[in-house]
Amino acid sequence: MSSLRVVSLLASATEIVAALGCVDLLVGRSHECDWPPEIQALPVLSRPEIDIARSSAEIDAQVKARSQEAVSCPPDAIAALSFYSIDAEQLTLLRPDIILTQTQCEVCAVSERDVVAALARAAGMAPRIVALNPRHLSDCWQDIRRVGQALQRADAAEKLCEAITLRLAALAPVDQMRPRVAFLEWLDPLMGAGNWMPELIAAAGGTPCFGEAGAHSPWISWEELAVADPDIIVLSPCGYDLARTYEDLPLLQAQPIWHTLRAVQAGRVFAADGNAYFNRSGPRLVDSAEMLAAMLHGGDGSRDAWIRLP
């Protein structure tokens, strides 16, 4: 196993590798891989092709414009319209045996298509590509097993999944009230939460207002949010840390409907670090579920991961 050279181009995959005790196998990472801290010294092989420093509305406009261009683009030119670029020269120098990537969302992270395009420019390499595709919570745990198999740590992967399952099962007593939760993955425009989030909310003891397990996150209107009138609102934009999420709060406060919502009036609105936790389909999803349970049932914020807004 010690001879394996692994490049991870997905933050959740990097966390899986670390949780399996295989950090020493990593030789390169994506620009989004930031946990655990010791991997930050690794070479960075990717960068975003849109300006992520812009406002939420401007980022959304860039994504939609690039996606529309790709629809009308000839197949041999689609790679040029990817949301991420990979340093093929650096990849050639690192010569990995395994590359970890994903096929779940081409907007959120480096995709398998990006990797294949980079390998076409890299000389004389044929690494194994392990592409994760998590949609349900069970997929996330199965991805841990898949990475464990690839790294020859199948037993460690199984034990990690068992520990996660036990922690999830301990979260929400069946006799507790199940508040209705609007988990928002984008704020301008509004987006609900699909994929594994409805299951995570249910595991924490809540009832999701928007989104379907296993399906992409849905866009929602302010009118739909008003009709749902949730008991609790969690703000956790995809790719944003807690500080960046807090910056977008005025976008919501500028909407008259915002102040009529029962969750706002009751002071049951929370901001969370979606980038490190809820949006990242790795082992820390169980930490995310525990945070949600604390939000739903009266626990304290963890300061660096989530806060209750005044």
Q: What integer pLDDT is reported at residue 78 of this predicted model?
A: 44
Tokens 């045996």, residue?
A: 97
User: Whole-model pTM?
Assistant: 0.91
In this structure, how many other beta carbons lie within 10 angstroms of the beta carbon of residue 125?
Answer: 15
CATH architecture of 6-163: 3-Layer(aba) Sandwich (3.40)
Label each residue of 155-216 as H, E or C.
HHHHHHHHHHHHHHHCCCCCCCCCCEEEEECEECCEECCCECHHHHHHHHCCEECCCCECCC
Q: What integer pLDDT is reported at residue 176 of this predicted model?
A: 72
Give the model confidence (pLDDT) of 64-85 as tens digits.
Answer: 776 666 545 555 444 445 789 9
Q: What integer pLDDT is reported at residue 175 of this predicted model?
A: 66
Q: What integer pLDDT is reported at residue 302 of this predicted model?
A: 63
pLDDT < 70 regions, the chain: 1-2, 51, 66-81, 172-175, 299-303
CATH 3.40.50.1980 domain extents, the chain: 6-163, 173-308
Cα separation of 62 and 171, whole Å? 39
Q: What integer pLDDT is reported at residue 69 of this predicted model?
A: 66
Quickly name the fold that domain 173-308 has: Rossmann fold (3.40.50)
Q: What integer pLDDT is reported at residue 51 of this predicted model?
A: 65
Q: What integer pLDDT is reported at residue 221 of this predicted model?
A: 98
Give the model confidence (pLDDT) of 156-182 as tens digits.
Answer: 999 999 999 999 999 866 667 899 999
